[in-house]
């Protein structure tokens, strides 16, 4: 990751360094980058990395030679449909080791809702700040409302500032904004400045972002990854976003569920029956989503099942109507982004 010349520059320049780890690192890094880039010379005076810590020694070198090292730990486990984590999974030992390797001048930014992440503060003597939905988080999200994006309030030390995420939905985006507010405060940005910067934030493709679709429809693009919990949250979100004539769920297999594959996919389908008007499924596992929806009363004529994308893309295009909101979701291996490309306005 770092060549010899880069290391020499870091030794002399002593840049501020933000390292983002955990399961939400990509979205969080993008939000932090876009906000700090409006106030600092990112790439020179500030370096921002998201990492799975495969290059552990290089990350240790970065934080050891930073004038202001900040370690952001997003979450270890899956984000559940409820707004808090009931029990965190055992965290990555490399993340714990990195937190202990942080110099005394460093900061920890921790997801307070994940118990396992929250406990890391007890393993170090670093300055730390937390974010989440729970009452004792330093940066706490409240009053969440959905419209053409997500509006919520950030509460921090008695200060309350509204945040608007244009065209973005889901708890991962809210967590990313909260983590960004935490990092911004460490960089001496006030909440109002952070809020203004987040208005311009555009997330990564396929991360609960609304984009324009064919026939004056809109696509809720969550195509880059999926777990059972994240898909259930996306379906719930699809159901409550206002202003659309119909809701269409286009869902692929969820990988990695193991022996509970059938039950998990059927449970997803049960949510679809309550929240969507049409259902398209792609993949051998997703047929159980269709089965779950049918069991909960979704009419068979509203359900379309296909094994592969090429078999169903034309039927999907034909069924789309003006005023539809179309959720596209599935595990990365299913390549659901190909469906997005078929129905997006280029």
Which DSSP string do the residues of 41-92 spell out, in sequence order?
A: -BTTTEEEEE--STTHHHHHHHHHT-SEEEEEE--SSPPPSSSS-SSPPPPP
pLDDT tens digits, one per residue of 219-256 = 999 999 999 999 999 999 999 999 999 999 999 999 99
The whole-angstrom separation of Cα 313 and Cα 342 is: 7
Report pLDDT for 207.
96
Q: Which residue has the higher pLDDT, 66 or 84?
A: 66
Report pLDDT for 88.
44
Domain with CATH 3.90.190.20 in the chain: 209-343
Q: Which two tokens stand for residue 251?
A: 């869902």
Q: Is the pLDDT of residue 144 over 80?
A: yes
Report pLDDT for 4.
58
Class of 4-198 per CATH? alpha beta
pLDDT tens digits, one per residue of 73-126 = 999 877 766 655 544 444 578 999 999 999 999 999 999 999 989 999 888 989
The answer to whether the beta carbons of residues 284 and 307 sit under 8 Å apart is yes
Report pLDDT for 24.
93
* Percent of the chain scoring above 90 in pLDDT: 85
pLDDT tens digits, one per residue of 171-193 = 999 999 999 999 999 999 999 99
Report yes or no on whether pTM surpasses 0.75. Answer: yes
Report pLDDT for 86.
46
Cα–chain center distance at 221: 12
When the candidates are 3.90.190.20, 1.20.1290.10, 1.10.3470.10, 3.40.50.1820, the CATH number that belongs to 209-343 is: 3.90.190.20
* Percent of the chain scoring above 70 in pLDDT: 95
Report pLDDT for 1.
64
pLDDT average, residue stretch 189-211: 96
Q: Which residue has the higher pLDDT, 43 or 1?
A: 43
Domain with CATH 3.40.1190.10 in the chain: 4-198
Q: Is the pLDDT of residue 21 over 50?
A: yes
Vertex 121, ends 26 and 133: CA angle to 5°? 60
Q: Is the pLDDT of residue 47 over 60?
A: yes
pLDDT range class, residue 10, cuts 50, 70, 90: confident
Rg (CA), the chain: 21
């Amino acid at each position: 990751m770092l060549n010899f010349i880069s290391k020499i520059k870091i030794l002399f320049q002593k840049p501020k360094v933000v390292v983002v780890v955990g399961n939400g690192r990509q979205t969080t890094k993008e939000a932090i980058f876009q906000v700090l880039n409006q106030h600092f010379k990112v790439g020179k005076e500030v370096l921002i990395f998201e990492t799975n810590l495969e290059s552990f020694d290089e990350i240790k070198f970065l934080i050891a030679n930073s004038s202001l090292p900040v370690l952001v730990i997003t979450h270890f486990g899956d984000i559940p449909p409820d707004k808090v984590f009931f029990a965190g999974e055992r965290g990555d030992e490399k993340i714990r080791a990195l937190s202990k390797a942080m110099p005394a001048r460093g900061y920890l930014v921790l997801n307070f809702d994940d118990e396992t992440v929250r406990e890391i503060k007890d393993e170090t003597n670093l300055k730390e700040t937390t974010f989440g939905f729970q009452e004792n988080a330093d940066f706490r999200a409240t009053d969440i409302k959905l419209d053409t994006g997500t509006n919520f309030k950030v509460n921090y030390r008695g200060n309350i500032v509204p945040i608007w995420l244009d065209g973005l939905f889901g708890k991962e985006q809210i967590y990313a904004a909260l983590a960004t507010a935490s990092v911004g405060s460490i960089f001496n940005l006030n909440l109002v400045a952070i809020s203004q910067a987040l208005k311009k934030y555009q997330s990564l493709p396929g991360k609960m972002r609304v984009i324009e679709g064919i026939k004056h429809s809109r696509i809720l693009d969550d195509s880059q990854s999926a777990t059972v919990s994240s898909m259930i949250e996306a379906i719930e979100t699809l159901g409550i976003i206002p202003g659309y004539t119909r809701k269409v769920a286009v869902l692929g297999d969820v990988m990695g569920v193991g022996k509970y594959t059938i039950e998990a996919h059927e449970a997803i389908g049960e949510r679809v029956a309550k929240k969507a008007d049409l259902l398209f499924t792609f993949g051998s596992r997703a047929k159980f989503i269709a089965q779950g929806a049918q069991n909960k009363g979704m009419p068979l004529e509203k359900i379309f099942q296909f094994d592969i994308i090429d078999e169903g893309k034309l039927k999907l295009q034909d069924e789309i109507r003006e005023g539809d909101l179309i959720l596209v979701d599935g595990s990365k291996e299913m390549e659901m982004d190909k469906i997005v490309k078929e129905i997006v306005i280029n």
